[in-house]
Structure 1
Amino acid sequence: MLILIPGSPIFTVLHLSDIHVDFAYTPGSQGDCSQPLCCRGGQPAPGHTGAGFWGDLRNCDIPYWTAEIILRYASELEKVDFIYYTGDIPPHNVWNQSREQQLYSLNTINDLLAKTFPNKTFYSAVGNHETAPCNLFPTPNIRSDNISWLYQVLADNWIKLGLPEDTRKSIEHGGFYTTVIRPGLRLISLNMNYCSWENFWLFINSTDPLDQLQWMIQWLQYAEDHGEKVHIIGHHPPKQCLASFSWNFNKIINRYENTIAGQFYAHTHNDEFVINYDEIDQQRPISMAYITPSLTTFSNLNPGYRVYKIDGNYPESSYWVLDHRTVIMNLTATNIYNQTIFLDEYDARDAYEMKNLFPNDWHNLIERLKNNIDGPLMSLVYQYYTKSYGNGNQCDHNCRRGLLCDFITYRSEDPHACDSILD
């Protein structure tokens, strides 16, 4: 059981992800198109509005100047100790990308981050959109298609953003690494593309192609032996991994539940959380996976970012998340008034009336939502899930049950994860 000492020191972490900057974004262009990504040219059809200057809520990514102003706002407003940064910089024009374009996106945005947040350390993870073609991360035994071109650039960029030089070898090997954030707190950054069902190279070896899980176990054991707590970051949440990886990953989290103090993912673009339960006692929550909202608007989402308050900076710190706050840009109002309008969308503890944000507190929230699934609290959850683009009236009873199911499904293809929701 976690016991917090009132008035204990805390630190603040900014979590950025899924920036997806489109350098070809064109204000006034066609926002409704037949391609995967719009707002890049062409005239809008009669009766249809063109792309907004600051972005668009249709199938469009954000322009560079919008990313720039959101990051500047976060830099000036948020007094953070360091930054979690979990991937997906290039846009969604997946049918028309080259290595050169991907590297331009990575280098340009990482330079922007370094300029906007001077003297802040970024702890980064690789997204599925960083490579070309998108999603395809070959394993080491695929000699005809080497991905070292990407990992070498990521290593350069991430070290420029504050990682120590001793992380380079592991990053260049497979896009993952570990480092000590501060005495007592270790970070493990995973390359979750080696578990993703979208990575077709995994048809050759889907279990643990880079021995990344074995590597993670070794470092978790080291942390346990040396009294460290661990934060895990990655792009894909485990529920979006292939089942073989996801279930093995869950076993590892179960084994090291007293060492792992937090998991931080992204990829879905929505504001989500997933409760990780004990394998034996499926009513005992053991860990939390936080899924941060995206900066991109793709699609039907306001831009957003997340700020965590974390217990720490004293002997025997728990390093658990104590609260989190989501900030959004109201894109519709920003385009109407041509003035950026940011909102503190919500604080988790206040909005959900939670004493703490420990796994059991989230479990109790799920129980409250289950008992009044069509009530106003569930409407609020859906509103925040969409970063205030949608409201609860747009999510009917089955939609709400599906959302609750997502919040308690940590393992992919788990046939019984949602039994308590669907009963």
Structure 2
Amino acid sequence: MPDDVPSSSSSFSSHRFLWLSDVHLDPYYGTSLAFQESYYVGSNCDVSDDDDETTTGRYGCDSPPSLVVGTINASRGAMTTTKTTTADGGDGGDPSFVIVTGDVVRHGIDQIYVTGDFVEGAESRLDNSSSSAAAAAAVDDAASASYHARAMAEAGSVMGEFASALRLAYPNSIIVICLGNNDVVPDYYLELFEDGNGNGEGGGGGEVPPTPETAGMLGVLYDALVGNIDDDDEDYVPSSILKSEDMSTFLRGGYYHRTLHDGSMIILSLNTVLYSAFHGPHAHRYIDDPGGQFAWMRMILSDCRLSSRPCSAMIVGHVPPAMGSYRHQQLWKEGYIRTYYKIVKEFDDVVMGQLFGHLHSDEFRVGLANEGNDGWIDENNVTSIPALSTPLLLGSSVTPLHGNNPSFRIVRYDRGMRRRGGTTSDDDDVGYRIVDYDSYAYSAIGGDKNDGGGWSKLYTFSEVYGDAASDIIKEEGLSSGTFRAIVGAMEDGRWGGESPISRVYRSFKLSGANREENQFGANGTCDSNCRDDYVCIFQSTTTAGYERCILERGKVWYRVVRRKAPGTVAGVLFAVIIVGVAFVKCRRMRRDKRKHYDFAPSVHDEVRDDGMDARDQEMI
């Protein structure tokens, strides 16, 4: 048991699960090959082995192995000291399951092997039509192609190392690890080989199913998560995260599911890399259902609904189908956003939660459904999150790369009355719901944990947001209704400025990190522009939706002042001015956010073939 075991939780439930996200394990931390963000000028990830800071990590650096092991140990300690009234399994200290919402592997792992001109995907790219002549020649260069295979193998090794450590800590728990954009090589680049000839992006069933040897990066990750990796360490523990029956879906598209509680709960692990706005190699092509994942998702949810007993489904993935809060980027391609929400809305009665990562910060997204608008212009145009029963919960990260404290969550869930279609009735089926969670953070980054820092419980959701939504939390748990009430409290105008709930939200966004250079934590100011930005980010799924939201909030000023502007001409002129001001305001807000969040130099080209600046990616 580590010395810095977090304090126990103040409330109990019959079931719990551990939630980790964005681990970004860097086995090269402390060496010249360590990954480092450029905007932390004073940060040095190349620290000597005898430096005490090596064991804690630093802001601006990815996670050293000791920090990752410490995180797992701290989570184990927290689980042991918060045993549930009904044992989840084993000795009662084990969670029912463990969720890792993607990005286990450090950033830029392919950079380690760069020796000359960089060509993304040189080991497997089939379509070089957009490449320059020099790049096409490099693809044929065996020396250039070989390092990609080495980078892929290294990513698999990191994934296997982490999965084995997690399995060793939780031998009796189901463990679900989603794929993130940094778990594939290069970043965001993932080809599908479901029919054995490289045409797997179409989602149709091929005659020759893929094998681990023919599935490229998915084959490497499958071997790592099954435990089929070479390791001479006699203490090595196979990860056994995946099972042989997962082979067909994982090798086809990187997705799988788990059933627990005697079939009354299902976890769907999605591969959201396929839907990312930055997914390669076919960035310019839109494929209705890459890897057949949407069809599979609909089938699993349908089976859950038709089950002989009440069944609840939890959807987990890495990149959320929403807007990013730092660079204000649309994270999924619009067509995939439409399909995803169409499916989730159809099966709203069985979906108990939507958990994602990627942003490295403690956030949420929710359909606000105000003034009769549930987010749909029509079913083919979804620019904001529809009125669903469950919000999107976004997990904070283990890596302190972006100035946040490392963190994890212990989430409590139980059976209860489920909300269906935004209402609750006595006729609703009884299913599982998320009822609360404890967030834990590590506050000794780059320093001595004996100076008062270390792992401790940061907050309990129901306690810090109780003033805004205590009655709803008691009745519904962490439903969309709960988060709508929180957003309402954040907008409470009684305070003549930022509300206390808004300050609470911002204080936890970076898991308690309050360094002066953090522009998005508690130290930053949040004026009316900032508050408009938060509300629009909470509900928007596309860039167009976000900008329209900002414009609509500008019209609120118009509706208030219009009553004091007599005359039709004056009213029209005022409306034009307000819309123009709101448009400029929207653009300025996006620009101001961007200037505080520059990205580290990367081996990736700064300008892609389609003209998009690669530095616009929400997270590299």
Q: Could you say which TM-score interval applies, normalised by the shorter chain?
A: 0.7 to 0.9
Counterpart of 1:281, as a letter, is D
8 Å CA contact 1:30, 1:42 repeated in 2: no
Q: In the aligned structure 1, how far is the partner of 2:301 from the partner of 2:35?
A: 47
The answer for the alignment partner of 1:214 in structure 2 is 295
Q: In the aligned structure 1, how far is the partner of 2:13 from the partner of 2:168?
A: 29
The answer for the alignment partner of 1:281 in structure 2 is 374
1:130 counterpart (183, 200, 212): 183
Per the TM alignment, residue 338 of structure 1 is displaced from its structure 2 partner at its CA by 7.3
Q: In the aligned structure 2, how far is the partner of 1:328 from the partner of 1:263?
A: 22
Per the TM alignment, residue 368 of structure 1 is displaced from its structure 2 partner at its CA by 1.1
The answer for the alignment partner of 2:540 in structure 1 is 409
Per the TM alignment, residue 28 of structure 1 is displaced from its structure 2 partner at its CA by 11
Per the TM alignment, residue 333 of structure 1 is displaced from its structure 2 partner at its CA by 7.9
The answer for the alignment partner of 1:96 in structure 2 is 111
8 Å CA contact 1:54, 1:331 repeated in 2: no
Q: 1:284 to 1:249 in 2, by over 3 A?
A: closer
Provide the secondary structure at the position in 1 that maps to 2:249. helix
Identity of aligned residues (%): 18
Per the TM alignment, residue 374 of structure 1 is displaced from its structure 2 partner at its CA by 0.9
Q: In the aligned structure 2, how far is the partner of 1:250 from the partner of 1:177?
A: 19
- List structure 1 runs of 4+ shifted beyond 6 angstroms: 27-33, 35-38, 144-147
Q: 1:250 to 1:313 in 2, by over 3 A?
A: closer
Per the TM alignment, residue 396 of structure 1 is displaced from its structure 2 partner at its CA by 2.4
> Alpha-carbon deviations, 1:135-162, whole Å to 9, x = none?
1012448839998233234334444444
Q: In the aligned structure 2, how far is the partner of 1:9 from the partner of 1:368?
A: 27
> Alpha-carbon deviations, 1:90-134, whole Å to 9, x = none?
212355041122122112111211222222210121111111111
Per the TM alignment, residue 386 of structure 1 is displaced from its structure 2 partner at its CA by 1.1
The answer for the alignment partner of 1:360 in structure 2 is 481
Q: 1:311 to 1:418 in 2, by over 3 A?
A: farther
Moved more, 208-217 or 277-286: 277-286
The answer for the alignment partner of 1:47 in structure 2 is none
Q: In the aligned structure 1, how far is the partner of 2:248 from the partner of 2:317?
A: 18
Provide the secondary structure at the position in 2 that maps to 1:318. strand
The answer for the alignment partner of 1:248 in structure 2 is 339
2:221 counterpart (154, 157, 161): 154
Provide the secondary structure at the position in 2 that maps to 1:134. coil
The answer for the alignment partner of 2:285 in structure 1 is 204
Q: 1:303 to 1:176 in 2, by over 3 A?
A: same
Is 1:171–2:250 an aligned residue pair? Answer: yes
Per the TM alignment, residue 51 of structure 1 is displaced from its structure 2 partner at its CA by 9.2
8 Å CA contact 1:275, 1:408 repeated in 2: yes
Provide the secondary structure at the position in 1 that maps to 2:366. strand
Normalising to structure 2: TM-score of the pair?
A: 0.60
Q: In the aligned structure 2, how far is the partner of 1:296 from the partner of 1:384?
A: 16
The answer for the alignment partner of 1:18 in structure 2 is 22
Q: In the aligned structure 2, how far is the partner of 1:280 from the partner of 1:252?
A: 19
Per the TM alignment, residue 380 of structure 1 is displaced from its structure 2 partner at its CA by 1.2
Per the TM alignment, residue 265 of structure 1 is displaced from its structure 2 partner at its CA by 0.7
Provide the secondary structure at the position in 2 that maps to 1:308. strand
> Alpha-carbon deviations, 1:372-404, whole Å to 9, x = none?
461222111011111111353413223343233
Provide the secondary structure at the position in 1 that maps to 2:198. coil
Is 1:369–2:490 an aligned residue pair? Answer: yes
The alignment yields a C-alpha RMSD, in angstroms, of 3.4
Per the TM alignment, residue 419 of structure 1 is displaced from its structure 2 partner at its CA by 6.2
Q: How does 1:7-406 map to 2 (within 5 A)?
A: 10-26=14-30, 34=38, 39-41=44-46, 52-78=53-79, 79=93, 80-94=95-109, 96-97=111-112, 98-140=151-193, 143=198, 148-159=215-226, 160-182=239-261, 183-201=263-281, 202-226=283-307, 227-239=310-322, 240-276=331-367, 281-282=374-375, 284-312=387-415, 317-332=430-445, 334-335=447-448, 337=450, 341-353=454-466, 354-355=469-470, 356=473, 357-372=478-493, 374-390=498-514, 391-397=521-527, 398-406=529-537
Q: 1:280 to 1:334 in 2, by over 3 A?
A: same
Q: In the aligned structure 1, how far is the partner of 2:96 from the partner of 2:295?
A: 30
Structure 2: gaps spanning 5 or more residues: 1-10, 80-92, 113-150, 201-212, 227-238, 323-330, 376-385, 418-427, 515-520, 557-620
Counterpart of 1:300, as a letter, is G
Counterpart of 2:403, as a letter, is N
Moved more, 406-415 or 308-317: 308-317
Counterpart of 1:350, as a letter, is E
Q: How many residues are matched?
A: 411
Provide the secondary structure at the position in 2 that maps to 1:197. coil
Counterpart of 2:355, as a letter, is F
8 Å CA contact 1:16, 1:295 repeated in 2: yes
Counterpart of 1:41, as a letter, is D
Per the TM alignment, residue 345 of structure 1 is displaced from its structure 2 partner at its CA by 0.7
Structure 1: gaps spanning 5 or more residues: 1-6, 44-49
Moved more, 187-196 or 308-317: 308-317
Counterpart of 2:28, as a letter, is A
8 Å CA contact 1:277, 1:287 repeated in 2: no
Q: In the aligned structure 2, how far is the partner of 1:360 from the partner of 1:225?
A: 26
8 Å CA contact 1:303, 1:331 repeated in 2: no
Per the TM alignment, residue 187 of structure 1 is displaced from its structure 2 partner at its CA by 1.4
Q: 1:362 to 1:144 in 2, by over 3 A?
A: closer
Q: 1:224 to 1:303 in 2, by over 3 A?
A: same
Q: 1:366 to 1:341 in 2, by over 3 A?
A: same
8 Å CA contact 1:14, 1:308 repeated in 2: yes
Provide the secondary structure at the position in 1 that maps to 2:260. strand
Provide the secondary structure at the position in 2 that maps to 1:62. coil
> Alpha-carbon deviations, 1:18-48, whole Å to 9, x = none?
11111111189999875999744389xxxxx
Q: 1:350 to 1:367 in 2, by over 3 A?
A: same
Q: 1:312 to 1:147 in 2, by over 3 A?
A: farther
Provide the secondary structure at the position in 2 that maps to 1:222. helix
Q: 1:77 to 1:108 in 2, by over 3 A?
A: same
Q: 1:280 to 1:161 in 2, by over 3 A?
A: farther
